[in-house]
Structure 1
Amino acid sequence: MTTRLNPYLNFRDNARQAMEFYHSVFGGELTTSTFAEMHASEDPAEQDKIMHSQLITDNGLALMAADTPNSMDYTPGSNFAVSLSGEDEGELRGYWDKLSDGATVTMPLDRAPWGDFFGMCTDRFGVSWLVNISAGQSS
């Protein structure tokens, strides 16, 4: 797997509907995981919300999205993040180190519940970044 740059959209309670719409527009394969399935929230109101969804089209387009947890701020206009993901740990850690320098780290790059290494930060220019290193190559 090569490193990809993926749009990651955040919603407040309607990520499923949005991604189903994008699926109808672009086709491809849509996968979704709820907060309950990933054991990612103890808030009963969030159990059926989308923790992560991914649309991969036949021609290689990728779009990801999630519902913003109730405990996090949601302001339309700041409802996006840039996601870097792949298996090249050295490359992705290098990107993380540079992006997180002078940034606000909201989740340090560390082992995630799904087995990969994952981190979140808002860089010095106010851009939100997600970095995910696949467990297949990471240690």
Structure 2
Amino acid sequence: MPSRLNPYISFDGDARQAMEFYKEVFGGTLRVNTFGDFGQKEAGDAADKIMHSMLETDSGFTLMGADTPPGMEHKPGNNISVSVSGEDAGELRGYWDKLCQGGTVSVPLEKQMWGDVFGMCTDRFGITWMVNITEQKA
């Protein structure tokens, strides 16, 4: 298996809902393990929270996420965005439509000065997504 780079997102207690939402958006297989699954007795009320989850899609995307572990501070920031790009406009517009539901659009999905169709939104879980549809050369 070759090396791969993929986003790993930390959530403040709603990782299960977020990852299930991303499964609805992108499809694929979602694997979820809770803190309790690994026998972490000290987890207490967090036993049902997500220690690790991984969504793998038929398009080759991998997205990982977890709830912030007990005793650690959740520090959301503006230092990460997730980018989805390619040439399949129908597929990418479908992702865009679903990601925007309940979220905020900061850049509408439209043709940009560099020639591609691009948009940016923040989903209902506070994650910023960039969608870029590459214009195919005639």
Superposition TM-score tier, normalisation by shorter sequence: 0.5 to 0.7
1:30 match: secondary structure: strand
Say if 1:46 and 1:78 are closer, same or farther in 2 by CA, change over 3 A.
farther
How many angstroms does 1:78 deviate by? 6.8
- Give the match for residue 3 of structure 1: 3
Matched, 1:46 2:67: no
Sequence identity of aligned pairs in percent? 54
TM-score (norm 1): 0.54
- The structure in which a higher percent of residues are helix is 2
Q: Gaps spanning 5+ residues in structure 1: where?
A: 81-139
Q: In structure 2, how many angstroms separate the alpha carbons of the residues matched to 1:10 and 1:79? A: 13
Q: In structure 2, how many angstroms separate the alpha carbons of the residues matched to 1:14 and 1:47? A: 13
How many residues in Structure 1 have an aligned counterpart in Structure 2?
A: 80
- The structure in which a higher percent of residues are strand is 1
Query: Does the 8 A contact of 2:53 with 2:64 survive in 1?
Result: yes
How many angstroms does 1:43 deviate by? 2.4
1:22-64 C-alpha deviation (Å, 9 max, x unpaired): 0000000001000010124512111000000000000110000
RMSD value, Cα: 1.8
TM-score (norm 2): 0.54
Q: In structure 2, how many angstroms separate the alpha carbons of the residues matched to 1:51 and 1:12? A: 12
- Give the match for residue 56 of structure 1: 56
- Give the match for residue 24 of structure 1: 24
Segments of 4+ moved more than 4 angstroms: none
Q: How does 1:61-72 map to 2 (within 5 A)?
A: 61-72=61-72
Query: Does the 8 A contact of 2:50 with 2:67 survive in 1?
Result: yes
Say if 1:79 and 1:18 are closer, same or farther in 2 by CA, change over 3 A.
farther
- Give the match for residue 14 of structure 2: 14
